Amino acid sequence: MRMMKLFAAAAVFVLPAIAFADDRADMAKVDKVYADMFRDAKGEWAKRIELDETQKACSEYRNNLPQAEFEKVLKREKANVVMPADGKVMGDWKSGEKIAQSGFGLRFNDKPGTISGGNCYACHQVSKTELSFGTLGPSLLEYGKIRKFDPEEAKRTYAQIYNSNAVQPCSTMPRFGHNKVLDEQQIKDLVALLFDPESPVNK
């Protein structure tokens, strides 16, 4: 009896703070509230609030896709990757470093036409020389060196920057090429930052 009382007390104590956090809202209502929140968006800006199929799936499953959905996203996003026509994936690492540092572009206070950066340092440790780096993504120190500067790995990396979801569905990283944040040359320059033996990433 005493034991039971103790259990009951413990059960009350460990009850989750939000008893219905697993409940889900009515999606039609969510869409309505969401559309109303961005009611002032026009033209290109209005398009930004439309979720594509991958965004829908990753939002609905909170990035933990069931197997069937995972395969679907992977297949769709793999088909979306466009590799450079000239077959070369390595650009200039010095320009890549600038792209990795820049967080400009595509915000509502940026001047239209501002060249976008990749803002890699916001989330990744990239080179030994830059100590102001974020931790949302893995460290990229010695990225090319660890991969023995393998040209196939460089191509795979180009594809991953172009479309992170083609490698990892619901990745935290933007689909830089697919969503036209970065152009082909910029992605090549980032691949060079990671794979050029002279780059500070590998020094």
Partner 1 sequence: MRGRRLASLLAAIAFAAAPIAANAQQDATEREIERYREMISDPFSNPGYLNVDRGEAFWKTARGTKNVSLETCDLGQGPGKLEGAFARLPRYFADADQVMDTEQRLLWCMEKIQGLDTKDIIKRKFSPSNRKSNSDMEDLVAFIANKSNGEKLSQPLTHPKEKEAFLIGQELFYRRSATHDFSCQTCHGDAGKRIRLQALPQLNKHGKDAQLTQAAWPTYRISQSQVRTVQHRIWDCYRQMRMPAPAYASEGITALTVYLNKMAEGGEINVPSIKR
**Least distance CB 87 / partner 1 (angstroms):** 27
* Best CA proximity match to 199, nearest among 90, 87, 86: 90
Site string for partner 1, 158-197 (x = CB under 8 A): --------------x-xx---xxx----------------
Site string for partner 1, 47-66 (x = CB under 8 A): -xxxx--xx--xx--xx---
Measured between alpha carbons, how far is residue 16 from residues 3, 5, 7, 21, 94 in Å? Answer: 22, 19, 16, 9, 51
**Least distance CB 5 / partner 1 (angstroms):** 26
153/202 Cα distance (integer angstroms):
15
Q: Does 139 sit near partner 1 (CB under 8 A)?
A: no
* Best CA proximity match to 119, nearest among 94, 92, 97, 151: 97
Which residues does 83 contact at the CB level (< 8 Å), separation at least 6? Answer: 89, 155, 158, 159, 162
Q: Does 107 sit near partner 1 (CB under 8 A)?
A: yes
Q: Which of 7, 38, 104, 149 binds partner 1 (CB under 8 A)?
A: 38
Q: Which of 3, 14, 79, 135 binds partner 1 (CB under 8 A)?
A: 135
Residues binding partner 1: number (CB under 8 A): 50
Nearer to partner 1, 34 or 149 (CB): 34
Whether 78 and 167 have beta carbons less than 8 Å apart is answered as no
Which residues does 195 contact at the CB level (< 8 Å), separation at least 6? Answer: 90, 143, 144, 147, 149, 153, 154, 157, 202
Whether 63 and 170 have beta carbons less than 8 Å apart is answered as yes
Q: Does 25 sit near partner 1 (CB under 8 A)?
A: yes
Q: For partner 1, which stretch binds (CB under 8 A), given 3-11, 72-80, 91-99, 119-127?
A: 119-127
Q: Give contact residues for partner 1 (rule: CB under 8 A).
A: 17-18, 20-21, 23-27, 29-30, 33-34, 36-41, 45-46, 48-51, 54-55, 58-59, 62-63, 106-109, 121-123, 131-136, 172, 174-175, 179-181
